[in-house]
Structure 1
Amino acid sequence: MRIYQTEISNAYIGLQVRKRRLQMGWTAHTLGKKSGLSQQQISRYERGTQNFTIHRLCIFANVLQCDLDYFLEQNSYKNLSLVNTNL
């Protein structure tokens, strides 16, 4: 059984969404069209200013063709310091 951290931040999840989007070679506009959101909404999610729901994470996982765990990696605290410098 995996144990998840209870304080994974929106900024970290947003960074993971952005990273996966870029791996797919997509713009924020493309991800928005595929997930039913505007480019501005995608930008807010990626910057961590929009709260993620489980429903939204499932949509992103399906559209970005990755497991839900991709957004919830256990080493998130190690990577959290990179969030502000990479955005």
Structure 2
Amino acid sequence: MAREKDEDPHPVDRHVGRRVQEKRLDLGLTQTALAKAVGVSFQQVQKYEKGTNRVSASKLFEMADFMKVGIPFFFEGYAGAQPGLAEEAAPAFDHEHKPTKNSVEISRLAPRLPPRKQKLILDMMRDMLGDEEA
């Protein structure tokens, strides 16, 4: 059944879309490159990432294969998800801030720095934000 035009995207669709976007940015891919790899337009990738359009099972499978992740990757951290009997609960995924190309690169590069330099950068970021919490 199709959603009404004024209906908000389902939280799962938004979550999956954000996970697609995060992984795409983490891999340094453009929307066009991902779109070409899975046979859709870059506009369709934009709609997937916003959660406006649901990703079909077959497209999710193709994206997972192309990005070298398992399908569960796209659902990890969804607060509404219930773990199965053999799974542990995943930490809640923070949707407050959309990832940017720069924030993804920061998170990718930070672990390569020695702990002392990571702390210096963290202190500098907190100072810039006026956030003195430890």
Q: Does 1:68 align with 2:71?
A: yes
Which AA in structure 2 matches 1:67?
G
Whether the 8 Å CA contact 1:11–1:47 is kept in 2: the answer is yes
Once the two structures are overlaid, the 10-residue window that deviates more, 48-57 or 15-24, is: 48-57
Consecutive unaligned residues in structure 2, runs of 5 or more:
1-9, 80-91, 100-134
Q: Does 1:20 align with 2:32?
A: no
Aligned ranges 1:1-87 → 2 under 5 Å: 9-73=12-76, 75-77=77-79, 78-79=92-93, 82=95, 85-86=97-98
Query: Normalising by the residue count of structure 2, what TM-score does the alignment of the two structures yield?
Result: 0.53
Deviation at 1:8, TM superposition (A): 6.1
Which AA in structure 2 matches 1:11?
R
Percent identity between matched residues is 26
Q: In terms of Rg, which structure is larger?
A: 2
Q: How well do the aligned residues superpose, as a CA RMSD in angstroms?
A: 1.8
Deviation at 1:60, TM superposition (A): 0.8
Deviation at 1:56, TM superposition (A): 1.5
- The count of aligned residue pairs is 78
Whether the 8 Å CA contact 1:8–1:72 is kept in 2: the answer is no
Which structure features the higher share of helix residues? 1
Q: 4+ residue runs of structure 1 moved beyond 2 angstroms?
A: none
Determine the structure 1 residue equivalent to 2:105: none
Q: In structure 2, how many angstroms separate the alpha carbons of the residues matched to 1:33 and 1:12?
A: 22
Q: In structure 2, how many angstroms separate the alpha carbons of the residues matched to 1:54 and 1:8?
A: 17
Q: What is the DSSP-based 3-state SS (H/G/I as helix, E as strand, rest coil) of the residue aligned with 1:86?
A: coil
Deviation at 1:85, TM superposition (A): 3.7
